[in-house]
Structure 1
């Protein structure tokens, strides 16, 4: 059985053809835009739950449902967005998505009904599919080869501070100006950084190998030759996607990252409530849970360093095992302050791991030709898991009367994620035998 890696070709310097310096400019731009995008279009929403519920005369559960709709809309858009990125590049899509998101933020500041809120946030969900990690990673993957891990790390490390920046900023804005005016300020910040930032994005030049393999006489890029190039590229993308979806390793990756996403989403929503249930004060619980954002950056750094000595799948599986052990121990040691902090540290180390490992594994395994399409296919179940896992955890908590089975279930999901990644390694080994 032959390995399913797509052919890749780069210049001697390791990056895609073109000027590497511009690739690093794009990395800097995407680091800023994803930080603002996640901060404004995701994390800030938590601050608006109570004031919006009061203003719209409803409960916070109803208000939170709009964010769930947004996440599901993002999942629905993931595959067509991935196909667009592979075929046309990211500049127009990401710039248009930033403009659309800004206009929808302005509309959000004027909503007066639940229906309007849900419609606006469904639109924001589609926009986020065009501008956040999935699209940004597709750009980075196309520009970099040997220093790809460093470039991905740069984007995710900076964006890892989105919650640390925008949660307190949004709280300050709401307290001082009210929630509607706070949204207008966030919309202005979003427009000022993301629109010009995405205008800097351009498609990575065609690799040298493609130039060498072009049919004689096409160097002038006549319309017919350009059309032939596009047809050949489309055919190659279809071949890579078809081979990948028949690869057991691809679906093992899907299982691994769906399980990890579900665990992370459940922890992110329920950790404060569980620590409070264990007897800690709400302030201590919130401060301890706040370590998760900082530790996600630490986990990304540790994973990147480990990948240099081991395969990405093995390094990521090791992080998931640490996360599983910490979650399993939380009910045993979490009633004490030190135990709660240490267990949270262990869980938090796994928070940002899949974010940086998944694009690296996909690109290494299948190449860059159809990366965005393959990533988009995976993004659908991953995003659905992110949306539904907290609801499932809440249902288990209500059915059992405490969080014990929720936390042990989270540990089990981390074990499943690690085992699935190790399965990928076994599949690779058998295919090479």
Structure 2
């Protein structure tokens, strides 16, 4: 490595933005692991002690998801105004307090009240505020920073599902939640100590060095000072690139959520062994990490919007193969094609949005997008479930494939709109 490249590598290593990425990667594992994934492990002991049905207990998580989407809109405005440091630190403290309330719930109303707090805390500590930090601190290195965040945070379920079960086995579910509450609250420390609002506040520039002109952002990127078109109700949504990207992200979430909820049931009904069905469902998550790496590598050469659209088209093809090929080949091909595209919008959406809107309004617009995506997550099981109940799994999965194709078309449209603007 030559002296110039060595100096550049040292400068990147010392850049505070990367310390923030690694701190956020760890806190996202904890926040997602406790506030979202651990619910699956606590469901049965909660249901038995509260003498409630599965639907009644799981309704608390649905409420949390809905409030997280709604809260993201307000949190986005706070992030643009105040930065992520104290918003995320406060969210971690609220999350810890809400998990304590969860541990003490004696009936359904108390459980639901605790999950109101969890939903609001989730809006302040999950991916959206982390995206805002990365958007502020990175330009050319933004895809690599997003990859680091989402790959590391992708292990949240791997870490916290077994860890939660071990705590329940050793302490009981209520005491286990108290331990997890402390872990969530402790995330306030790295948020407060590591996060900073912007590079300019520290006399730095994004990425730790000036842009050398190789960035793939559209040449028409909006100057930071010209924010008037983005102010007011619906300001950013008058920009076609933002509209199409938002719809694409919501539709891909519908496709993903439909498959995530109904894949195992379909495979079992089709006669697949229970072990194959479980491996297929788990394989989607594992391959989503591979897909994010592939996206980041190819995006540097082809463009992130084009690569993402191609991978989402692959998801639709995977659904077709699930019904066209004999088993078990159908399941293998499906998992490969659908899984590769499963998590690509987690990187592509914030990366593309960062090219479409100026930094000072990024978090507010991203929060509004998160509401649309969360709506897709909540609606997908209801809409697909109704189709499956009425017409069978074929139409239900065709619905998923159609949403994926529409998302790919909208991604291409958003890129073209951005370059024309």
Tell whether the structures are fold-level matches, with TM greater than 0.5: yes
> Does 2:332 correspond to 1:341?
yes
Taking the TM superposition and a 5 Å limit, the aligned residue runs for 1:301-320 are 301-320=293-312
Tell me how far apart the structure 2 counterparts of residues 270 and 103 of structure 1 sit (CA, whole Å). Answer: 34
Q: Which moved more, 1:91-100 or 1:343-352?
A: 343-352
Residues 287 and 395 of structure 1, relative CA distance in 2, 3 Å threshold: same
Q: Deviations over 1:140-184 (max 9, x none)?
A: 110111111111111011011111222222233333433222222
The residue number in structure 2 matching 1:5 is: none
Cross-structure match for 1:157: 151
Alignment-derived partner of residue 321 in structure 1:
313
Classify the secondary structure of the residue corresponding to 1:370: helix
Which residue number in structure 1 is paired with residue 405 of structure 2?
A: 415
**Is 2:48 the partner of 1:58?**
no
User: What is the CA-CA distance between 1:379 and the residue it aligns to?
Assistant: 1.2
Instruction: Confirm or deny: 8 A CA contact 1:163 1:293 kept in the other structure.
Output: no
Distance 1:49 1:36 in 2: 19
Change (3 A) 1:21 1:426: closer
Pairs within 5 Å for 1:25-36: 25-36=19-30
1:119/1:92 Cα in 2 relative to 1: closer, same or farther (>3 Å)?
Answer: same
147 and 350 in structure 1: CA distance in 2 versus 1, 3 angstrom threshold: same
Give 1:404's aligned residue: 394
Q: Does the aligned pair in 2 maintain the 1:18–1:205 contact within 8 Å?
A: no
Which whole-Å CA distance do the structure 2 matches of 1:210 and 1:154 have between them? 22
Q: How far apart are the structure 2 equivalents of 1:315 and 1:241?
A: 31
**Does the 8 Å CA contact 1:323/1:411 hold for their aligned counterparts?**
yes
The equivalent of 1:275 in structure 2 is 267
Q: How does 1:230-269 map to 2 (within 5 A)?
A: 237-241=227-231, 244-269=236-261
Gaps of 5+ in 1: 1-12, 212-232
Q: CA deviation at 1:110?
A: 1.0
The alignment yields a C-alpha RMSD, in angstroms, of: 2.6
Shift of 1:189: 2.5
- Aligned-residue offset at 1:378: 1.1
TM-score, normalised relative to structure 2: 0.87
Measured in 1, the distance between the counterparts of 2:109 and 2:20 equals 38
Structure 2 counterparts to residues 31-430 of structure 1, below 5 A: 31-192=25-186, 194-199=187-192, 200-206=194-200, 237-241=227-231, 244-333=236-325, 336-400=327-391, 402-429=392-419
Name the SS for the 1:279 alignment partner: coil
Which digits, 9 at most, give the CA deviation of each residue in 1:231-283, with x for residues without a partner?
Answer: xx998545435653211221111111110011112222222222212212333
> Once the two structures are superposed, what CA deviation does each residue of 1:326-353 show, in whole Å capped at 9, x if it has no partner?
02221233x6234313311211111110
Stretches (4+) displaced over 6 A: 207-211
- Any idea what SS the aligned residue of 1:58 has? coil
**Helix, strand or coil: the match of 1:146?**
coil
Q: Indicate conservation of the 8 Å contact 1:100/1:127, yes or no.
A: yes
Name structure 2 gaps, 5 residues minimum: 1-6, 206-222
Counterpart secondary structure, 2:20: helix
* Residues 33 and 122 (structure 1), Cα distance of their counterparts in 2 relative to 1, 3 Å cut: same
CA distance in 2, matches of 1:245, 1:210: 31
Partner Cα separation in structure 1 for residue 163 and residue 202 of structure 2: 46
Distance 1:241 1:298 in 2: 38
Partner secondary structure for residue 309 of structure 1: helix
Q: CA deviation at 1:209?
A: 11
Deviation digits for residues 286-345 of structure 1 (CA, Å, limit 9, x no counterpart): 222111221111111111111101222111101101111102221233x62343133112
Number of aligned residue pairs: 394
Per-residue deviation, 1:187: 1.8
